[in-house]
Amino acid sequence: MLERLKAGGYALVALIIMTIIHVELLFKLLKKLNQPLVLSFAAEVHDSMLSLEEAALIGRYYAEKAKVDVALHLDHGTKFDTIKKAIAYGFTSVMIDASSCDFEENVRRTKEVVEYAHARGVVVEAMRIGHVGSGETYATDEDDSIYTEVEAAKKFVELTGVDSLAISIGTAHGHYKSTPVINFERLHEIREALDIPLVLHGGSSSGDENLRRCATEGISKINVFTDFVVAA
Ligand code: 13P
């Protein structure tokens, strides 16, 4: 699905679901939009609302009835155990987020997941090198965001064999303390250097024009969570 988006030069918004109501509404919307859907679930953060198994059963139920392609994606999996469970329950795509580790450890953990997932027909998104920080500390002294470096990203993809890469180019998770500034030059450089689809985290409140440019200038999937929850 992401390869097709990349070739077409546009992106999908991946909405992070937290309850069955999210899923019902998304599929209603999908009927009108008639486009593929990435149903993302951040099991390790939201399992008090919905368990991984429940999310998988609900997602698979709706995906089977849908007339379009639906990917069931595990968002921000940090533990190999969660990832293994997600795959066993029928998730078609998983994210390994080892972005808090150093480069070597991130490569080791991502590679382990890639080997496990690929053997079971599941695709893998990874995060690095760089870090998408929180909007709360955006552009302040406590901001821990790190922009993705081109050479490191290239090496990371070669070493891990990952299917898509979440990059850090100026967005942040949650709402922003100040106006987001996207580094489009870095996006272009990364897009040039890598063959695989690129993912943008922290889509909420990043500005319509910024997101439009990201979607047409190299990003294939944009994750959105906070805006929907706040609106609800
Ligand atoms: P926002 O909450 O900023 O939209 O970020 C969502 C996200 O990136 C989930 O992976």
Reported as a single tens digit per residue, the pLDDT across 85-96 is: 999 999 999 999
What spacing in Å lies between the alpha carbon of 134 and ligand 1's midpoint?
A: 10
More confident residue, 112 or 180: 112
Kindly report whether the global pTM for this prediction surpasses the value 0.85: yes
Is 102 among the catalytic positions?
no
Q: Is the pLDDT of residue 79 over 90?
A: yes
Mean pLDDT value across the chain: 92
What spacing in Å lies between the alpha carbon of 55 and ligand 1's midpoint?
A: 18
What Å distances lie between residue 145 and 67, 79, 81, 169, 223, CA to CA?
39, 22, 27, 9, 17
Using a 6 Å cutoff on CB, does residue 41 contact ligand 1? no
Mean of pLDDT values over 126-133: 72
What Å distances lie between residue 20 and 26, 27, 147, CA to CA?
10, 11, 35
The band of 146, judged by pLDDT with boundaries at 50, 70 and 90, is confident
Q: Say what the pLDDT of residue 133 is.
A: 65
Q: Say what the pLDDT of residue 131 is.
A: 63
Q: Say what the pLDDT of residue 144 is.
A: 60
Using a 6 Å cutoff on CB, does residue 205 contact ligand 1? no
Using a 6 Å cutoff on CB, does residue 180 contact ligand 1? no
Atom of ligand 1 nearest to the CA of 173: 3
Using a 6 Å cutoff on CB, does residue 174 contact ligand 1? yes
What spacing in Å lies between the alpha carbon of 111 and ligand 1's midpoint?
A: 24
Q: Say what the pLDDT of residue 31 is.
A: 83
Using a 6 Å cutoff on CB, does residue 215 contact ligand 1? no
Helix or strand or coil: residue 109? Answer: helix
Q: Is the pLDDT of residue 72 over 90?
A: yes
Q: Is the pLDDT of residue 140 over 70?
A: no
Out of 47, 69, 75, 195, pick the active-site residue: 75
Atom of ligand 1 nearest to the CA of 132: 8
The band of 112, judged by pLDDT with boundaries at 50, 70 and 90, is very high
**Helical spans, DSSP H, in the chain:** 2-8, 20-33, 43-46, 52-65, 80-89, 103-118, 150-160, 184-193, 208-216, 226-231
Q: Is the pLDDT of residue 11 over 90?
A: yes
